[in-house]
Amino acid sequence: MFYHRRKGWEIPEREATPEALFFARRSLLKAGVAAAALAAAPSAQAFSLFGGGDKPAAPEAPDQTQGRYPAGRNDLFKLDRDVTPEEINSHYNNFYEFGSGKDIFEAAQALKTRPWTLKIDGLVEAPKEMGIDDLIASAPLEERLYRHRCVEAWAMAIPWTGFPLKHLVDLAKPQSGAKFVRFETFLDRSMAPGQRQVWYPWPYGEGLTMAEASNDLAFLVTGAYGKPLGKQFGAPLRLAVPWKYGFKSIKSITKISFVAERPKTFWEQLQASEYGFWANVNPDVPHPRWSQASEEVLGTHERRKTQIFNGYGEFVGGLYVGLEKERLYV
Ligand SMILES: Nc1nc2c(c(=O)[nH]1)N[C@H]1C(S)=C(S)[C@@H](COP(=O)(O)O)O[C@H]1N2
Ligand SMILES: [Mo]
């Protein structure tokens, strides 16, 4: 925050409650230097600044899917608030691969999203690799208005474009032994300066149960605001599981694995007492360091009451019957 000029609509980082508080102090010096350097550099030069200078950046291949946007809206999913303006949403992001502050927009433009390969492996009939453009071309794209609730107690609302995760589960043809789905983000230290911070368990990983992954609300996102996904949002493929805290919605996915054991996630590896596997939104279960009873609406400074399952209980409440002894809300 020392190197970051705050705009009127932003939540000051000292008032928000960052996921990485424990680690932020240790990384402050390094992060400050990197962010200051990036802020001073035009985005096109970010790669060579942080790429070690040994090999030049190959040009990014064109996105073949532009013509699929905007996609028709699925009206099943209603908002109880306005969509967060694109300009605000695009400049207040969590994407630790590009820095631990919220203004990673410039840094994230170094993310190269074409070519991009998604690997599907583990307990499936036939492991496969798919080019992102082939995947998007064959997917049933639709637009959905979703709320998003970060564990730090801020919230946004966004028009995502994408397709149900269930579509990909069906493509993968999992075996009966598959109980969980594990997601992984790219690993490329030359492209993502945050990944040089060695105390984080890169690459970012997340997980869902098979039942959660097959729920209609679990959405694979390829676009936002009627266009292909901006890099800061986790292009070219990110997850949206809006009944869970935002850290479950992993960005820039390169691998989806079907596994028998519950995967250990990125934040769980860092601090299991604060960021569990389930991470379902619940106003009555505080984070160990702050209340979850209310949230700040990004862009308006309005405070709203947090809703159980972030208001999506009618879709997902049934997933947790019989699991009451699990830590469902951390
Ligand atoms: N790979 C990756 N995915 C990630 C994160 C991250 O740092 N790296 N941050 C998570 C957190 S904490 C949140 S709140 C959301 C933020 O999404 P947004 O920037 O589109 O609002 O992305 C999630 N997915
Ligand atoms: Mo978050």
Q: Give me the sheet containing 205-209, strands edge to edge.
A: 128-131, 117-122, 253-259, 180-185, 205-209
Give me the pLDDT at residue 12, please.
Answer: 60
11 is in an annotated binding site: no
pLDDT at residue 145 greater than cutoff 70: yes
pLDDT at residue 235 greater than cutoff 50: yes
CATH for 78-320 (3.90.420.10, 3.10.129.10, 3.30.70.3000, 3.30.70.20)? 3.90.420.10
Q: Is the CB of 280 under 6 A from ligand 1?
A: no
270 pLDDT tier (thresholds 50, 70, 90): very high
Q: How do residues 41-98 score in pLDDT, each as one tens digit?
A: 444 333 334 444 445 567 899 999 999 999 999 999 999 999 999 999 999 999 999 9
Q: Is the CB of 97 under 6 A from ligand 1?
A: yes
Site of tokens 């939104």: 281
What is the residue extent of each domain of the chain? 19-55, 78-320
Mean pLDDT of the chain: 89
The two structure tokens encoding residue 139: 């997917």
Q: How do residues 189-199 score in pLDDT, each as one tens digit?
A: 999 999 999 99
Strand runs labelled E in the chain: 117-122, 128-131, 142-149, 154-164, 180-185, 205-209, 219-224, 227-228, 238-240, 253-259, 294-297, 303-305
The Cα 226–Cα 204 span in angstroms is 27
Tell me the pTM.
Answer: 0.88
Q: How do residues 110-129 score in pLDDT, each as one tens digit?
A: 999 999 999 999 999 999 99
The Cα 310–Cα 150 span in angstroms is 10
The two structure tokens encoding residue 148: 């998003």
Q: Is 170 exposed, middle or buried (0-12, 13-18, 19+ CB in 10 A)?
A: exposed
Q: How far from 194 is each of 12, 27, 270, CA to CA, in Å? A: 21, 10, 15
Give me the pLDDT at residue 44, please.
Answer: 38
280 is in an annotated binding site: no
The kind and range of the H/E element at 214 are helix 210-214
The two structure tokens encoding residue 261: 């054991």
Q: How do residues 197-227 score in pLDDT, each as one tens digit?
A: 999 999 999 999 999 999 999 999 999 999 9
Q: Is the CB of 19 under 6 A from ligand 1?
A: yes
The Cα 252–Cα 110 span in angstroms is 13
